[in-house]
Amino acid sequence: MSIRIAILVSGHGRGSNMAALIDACERGEIDGQVVLVIGTRREAPALQRAAEKGVPTCVISPRGLDDEQYARRLLQALEEAQVDLVCLAGYMRLLPAPVVRAYAGRVMNIHPALLPLFGGKGMYGEHVHRAVLESGMKVSGCTVHFVDEHYDTGPIILQRCVPVEEDDTWESLAARVLEQEHQAYVQAVKLFAEGRLRLEGRRVRILPSSP
């Protein structure tokens, strides 16, 4: 059964992970369809990019709303679009708890480091890669995980590693990680669509493909 996917992006998101997911659905690599991209601001480059790809978009701004009101609007949009899976892609906020609960085990996020290292509030973009370089780590990478009610702490689905090179700047490291992000996110969503992810406590078991 083909799954219906919604992608959430934030105000300034460029949307490269979003585009990777949309393209993988178009190619038939993922048995699914991106049915809605939700942004927090109309000006988001990601929304423009989604519209150019013919994917429906909408703006749900949290500004002036309390958490409960914001959650209600998100839930309404997701329910109307009959979404099976929610993918956060450059979504900078904490997803409101009622949404996490309503879609438990059905919300994913991608993070540009090897969690549980270099995650948490304020750890995004440049901050992550600078922290990795300062730590002296010889490898970095990306993590796709299920979303819980905190930043970057949900069960890990997939990780990919990249080397940290001697002459890396945060920009060169970010670019190397981003390439892996696109592949890892597509792979994780593909596994979800195939019904091959099983949550066992904090571990995500990847089931073999059916013959």
Instruction: Give counts: helices (H), strands (E), the chain.
Output: 6, 9
Of 13 and 96, which has the nearer Cβ to ligand GRF?
13
- Residue 93 binds ligand GRF, judged by CB under 6 A: no
Residues 107-166 that bind ligand GRF (CB under 6 A): 110-112
First to last CA, the chain: 16
- Residue 11 binds ligand GRF, judged by CB under 6 A: no
Rounded CA gap, 36 and 59, in Å?
11
Q: Could you tell me the maximum CA-CA distance found in the chain, to the nearest angstrom?
A: 51
The interface region with ligand GRF, picked from 16-24, 54-62, 66-74, 165-173 by CB under 6 A, is 16-24
CA distance to 20, 36, 109, 158, 190, per residue, from 199 (Å): 25, 26, 15, 13, 16
Contact track, ligand GRF, 39-68, x by CB under 6 A: -------x----------------------
- Residue 14 binds ligand GRF, judged by CB under 6 A: yes
Residue in the block written with tokens 């929304």: 47
CA distance to 74, 98, 113, 141, per residue, from 116 (Å): 28, 24, 8, 12
Among residues 3, 8, 11, 13, the one that binds ligand GRF under rule CB under 6 A: 13
Active-site residue, 111 included: yes
Catalytic machinery residues: 111
Q: Which residues bind ligand GRF (CB under 6 A)?
A: 13-18, 46, 89-90, 110-112, 178, 181
